Copies of this chain bind each other. A is one copy, B any other.
Amino acid sequence: MKLVIVGSVALDTLATPAGAVKRALGGAATHAAVAASFFTDKLGIVGVVGDDFPAAFPKLLRSRKIDLGGLSQVTGKTFHWKGRYEGDMAVAKTLHTELGVFAGFDPVLPAAYRSAPFVFCGNIVPEIQSKVLDQASRSSFKVLDTMNLWIATKKKALLNAIKRVDAVVLNDQEIRQLTGVHSLILAAKALLKAGPRFVLLKRGEHGASLISKNEYFHLPAFPTEKVRDPTGAGDSFAGGLIGSLTAAGRVDKGTLRRAMASGIVMSSFQVEDFSLWRTVKLKRPEIENRLKRLRAMTSF
């Protein structure tokens, strides 16, 4: 195992101006793992689902060569999110959240996962993220995601977890909320002082930036004109990124930049249709083509 992805595996019921789905496959770990699976086949998910989880979904994940040894199925209901996007789809409106078995999620990494060099710890309660980090102490590159809820309610626990990882993924609102600094560059610099070597800043339609102590790298979002469902865009970005790094096998300036580009490209496909419909159909040349176009968009 080279890459472990920990987080929610969920059912999404949602509507956008382009349509609607019921109990479609979703969840942070799912989106990140499927995106990563286009770069490495040595990856596994750690998560929990209920006994209502349709058999077709594990089958789909296995078809992407994602190991499910860390995905437990227990009695109860699968995490179910109901939401709606309106207008420009910039913000999801949550209509209902049914945590189900995810409320008691206590991730246990299978033995084979504990020496994986790359770990993506999706957005879950910060104390649980720390438990994951305890088990992944031999990992050489740990990436952590979070959300506004934990910044507001569990900031101290979150900062404890952040201190222990190599990179943090945040969007512009989250980093401002976490640091209290409005300028994104200064906010990133402030966050670097809290421990991580890298800040991976998601800027939505403005792209994404990689900020470290001595470096600044920025890429535009791929200019997708067709957005049907933005769900999973951020997790696909993180998955494409860490999947690409896992494939490279090392973290340096070149591999990080290529990984950022891979993340941008994976999220650009993700939003083109509901659930994972577009992403699972992807062919490698499509990804390469967008990487090439993304490079052309920024060179002068």
**Interface residues, chain A, CB within 8 Å of chain B?**
87-88, 90, 182-186, 189, 203, 205-207, 209, 216-220, 223-225, 227, 254, 257-258, 260-261, 295, 297-300
Contact B216 A223 (CB under 8 A): yes
| CB within 8 Å for A261 and B217 given contacts A88-B183, A206-B206 | no
| Residue with the greatest number of chain B CB neighbours at <10 A, chosen from A205, A299, A300 | A300
| CB within 8 Å for A205 and B183 given contacts A295-B300, A297-B216 | yes
Cα(A206)–Cα(B185), bound, Å: 10
Contact B185 A217 (CB under 8 A): no
Report A192 CB to chain B, min CB distance, Å: 13
The chain B residue with its CB closest to the CB of A259 is B300
Cα(A295)–Cα(B206), bound, Å: 18
Contact B182 A261 (CB under 8 A): no
The 7 tightest CB contacts between A and B, nearest first, are A218-B220, A88-B182, A257-B300, A206-B206, A298-B298, A185-B223, A216-B223
Report A89 CB to chain B, min CB distance, Å: 9
Q: Hey, which chain B residues are within 8 Å of A295, CB to CB?
A: 299-300
Q: Tell which of B182, B218, B224 touches A207, judged by Cβ atoms closer than 8 Å.
A: B218
Cα(A225)–Cα(B225), bound, Å: 33
Q: Tell which of B88, B217, B297 touches A218, judged by Cβ atoms closer than 8 Å.
A: B297
Contact A183 B298 (CB under 8 A): no
Contact A298 B218 (CB under 8 A): yes
Contact B184 A205 (CB under 8 A): yes
| Residue with the greatest number of chain B CB neighbours at <10 A, chosen from A209, A218, A299 | A218
Q: Hey, which chain B residues are within 8 Å of A182, CB to CB?
A: 87-88, 90
Cα(A114)–Cα(B223), bound, Å: 38
Cα(A205)–Cα(B298), bound, Å: 16
Cα(A298)–Cα(B258), bound, Å: 11
Q: Tell which of B184, B203, B225, B299 touches A298, judged by Cβ atoms closer than 8 Å.
A: B299
Contact A298 B217 (CB under 8 A): yes
The chain B residue with its CB closest to the CB of A211 is B223
The chain B residue with its CB closest to the CB of A262 is B300
Q: Hey, which chain B residues are within 8 Å of A216, CB to CB?
A: 220, 223, 297
| CB within 8 Å for A225 and B88 given contacts A217-B298, A218-B297, A300-B257 | no
